[in-house]
Amino acid sequence: MRTILAIETSSELASAALSYQGKVIARDTCGVQTHSQSVLPMVQDILGEAGISLSQCDAIAFGAGPGSFTGVRTACGVAQGLAFGADLPVVPVSTLQAMAQACRDATGASDVLVLLDARMEEVYWAQYRFDNEWQTLIAPALSAASAVTPDGTHGNVQACGNGLAAYASVFAAMPFAASGRSDIMPHAAQIAVLAQHEFSMGHAVHARDAQPIYLRNKVALTTAERAAKVHA
C-alpha cells in the first residue's frame, strides 16, 4: 500500500484524507466560504496525526471533477502546489466514481447510479458496477435531471448524491428514487482509496500535467453575451 494524501473540494463539502499503512485518516468541513482556506489546515492535521511529513507520501490525489468549477480548480491547484513542493506525482480521481465508492461503502451496492447537483436544473451523473474493480457502465455526463436514463440491464441500481434531493420532484417517478441516498457526496476518503488502484495502474502524472474534469463547456457569459441576452 502506498501512502497517498487526497484532497476533495468539488462540492460544498471540503475534505482531506491520508491512506497510510492500510487505514484512512480523514477530515472534512462544510459551509466554509473558500475551500482553499480550510484544506491546508486539514492536511497539516492529518499528517500530524499520522506522524509523517508530506515528503514521506508517495503521491497527492485529488477529486478531479466533475463538480463545482471553482471547487475542482481549487483541489487541482492545491494538489499541484503540494506536489511541486514535495516533488511528488499527482493522481486525478473522478469525483463521481468516488461517490460510487462511498455508496458501496455505505450500502454494499454493486450497481450504483451517481447524481451530483450541477445547478441550472442539471446533474452530473454516471453509472458504475463493481466486480472486483469498478467498471463504468455510463460515462460521466451532464444533462437535465429529466434526461437521466440509467442502464437497467444490470438489475436494481442504487442511486446516490445530492441531485436526488435537488430535483426530487423530477426523480420521484423514477424507480431508483425510493431507496436513493441523497446524503452521499464526494469525499477525500474515497479519493484516497481509489487513488491506490489508479497509482498501481500507472495513472499518476507530473504535477504540471494534472487537469480538472470539466463537462460544462462554458460556465459564464461574457459581458457582451449577457447584454445580448437581455436585449434579445
The ranges assigned to domains in the chain are 4-95+186-209, 96-171
Cis preceding linkage at 66, omega within 30: yes
Question: Could you check whether 4-95+186-209 and 96-171 share the same CATH topology?
Answer: yes
| CATH value of 4-95+186-209 in 3.40.50.300, 3.40.50.2000, 3.30.360.10, 3.30.420.40 | 3.30.420.40
Numbers of helices and strands, H then E, in the chain: 7, 9
For the whole model, what pTM was predicted? Answer: 0.90
CATH 3.40.50.150 is the classification of domain 96-171: no
Q: Residue 32's pLDDT is what? A: 59
Distance from C-alpha of 21 to C-alpha of 77, rounded to nearest angstrom: 26
In DSSP terms, 119 is beta-bridged to 122
In degrees, rounded to 5, the angle at the alpha carbon of residue 117 between the alpha carbons of residues 114 and 123 is 70
Q: Residue 75's pLDDT is what? A: 96
Q: Which residues of the chain have pLDDT under 50?
A: 218-232
Q: Residue 216's pLDDT is what? A: 79
